[in-house]
Amino acid sequence: MARGWRNHAAMALRLRRRVQDYGGGPPHPLICIMHKSGALMPYRTQHTRPTMLAATHLQRRDARTGVTLLQPATLAVRAGDRIALTGPSGAGKSVLLRALALLDPLDGGQVTWHGQAIGPRAVPAYRCHVAYVRQRPALLPGTVEDNLQMPYRLHARRHGAGFDRDAAIALLAGAQRDASFLDKNAIDLSGGEAQIAALVRTLQTGPTVLLLDEPTAALDPASARAVEALLQHWFAQAPERHAWMWVTHDPAQAERISGQHWRMVAGQLDTEPPR
> Residue 157 — pLDDT band, cuts 50, 70, 90?
low
Cβ-based neighbour number of residue 163 at 10 Å: 15
Residue 53 lies in a domain: no
Using CA atoms, how far residue 205 sits from 20, 127, 167, 168, in Å, is 25, 11, 10, 10
Find the Cα–Cα–Cα–Cα dihedral 163, 191, 212, 268, rounded to 10°.
160
Residue 190 lies in a domain: yes
| pLDDT for the residue numbered 43 | 45
Residue 72 lies in a domain: no
| pLDDT for the residue numbered 47 | 52
**What's the rounded mean pLDDT across residues 92-110?**
96
Residue 32 lies in a domain: yes
Dist. CA 194–CA 59, nearest whole Å? 32
Q: Judge if 36 and 98 occupy the same domain.
A: no
- Report the CATH number at residue 253: 3.40.50.300
User: Taking the CA atoms of the chain, what radius of gyration do you get in angstroms?
Assistant: 20
Residue 5 lies in a domain: no
Q: Judge if 16 and 140 occupy the same domain.
A: no
121 - beta bridge partners?
A: none
**What's the rounded mean pLDDT across residues 55-59?**
97
Residue 254 lies in a domain: yes
Tell me the whole-structure pTM to 2 decimals: 0.78
> Residue 7 — pLDDT band, cuts 50, 70, 90?
very low
Cβ-based neighbour number of residue 108 at 10 Å: 14
> Residue 155 — pLDDT band, cuts 50, 70, 90?
low
Residue 67 lies in a domain: no
**What's the rounded mean pLDDT across residues 254-263?**
95
- Confidence check: pLDDT of 48 > 50: yes
| pLDDT for the residue numbered 138 | 87
| pLDDT for the residue numbered 180 | 96
- Confidence check: pLDDT of 221 > 80: yes
| pLDDT for the residue numbered 2 | 43
**What's the rounded mean pLDDT across residues 79-105?**
96
**What's the rounded mean pLDDT across residues 86-111?**
96
- Considering its fold, how many domains does the chain have in total? 2
CA 210 distance to own-chain centroid = 3
Report the range out of 15-29, 84-98, 132-146 with the highest average pLDDT: 84-98
> Residue 154 — pLDDT band, cuts 50, 70, 90?
confident
Q: Which domain holds residue 20?
A: 12-48
> Residue 160 — pLDDT band, cuts 50, 70, 90?
low
69 vs 1, more confident: 69
Residue 58 lies in a domain: no
Dist. CA 95–CA 106, nearest whole Å? 10
Among the residue ranges 146-160, 188-202, 222-236, the one predicted with the least confidence is 146-160
> Residue 158 — pLDDT band, cuts 50, 70, 90?
low
> Residue 257 — pLDDT band, cuts 50, 70, 90?
very high
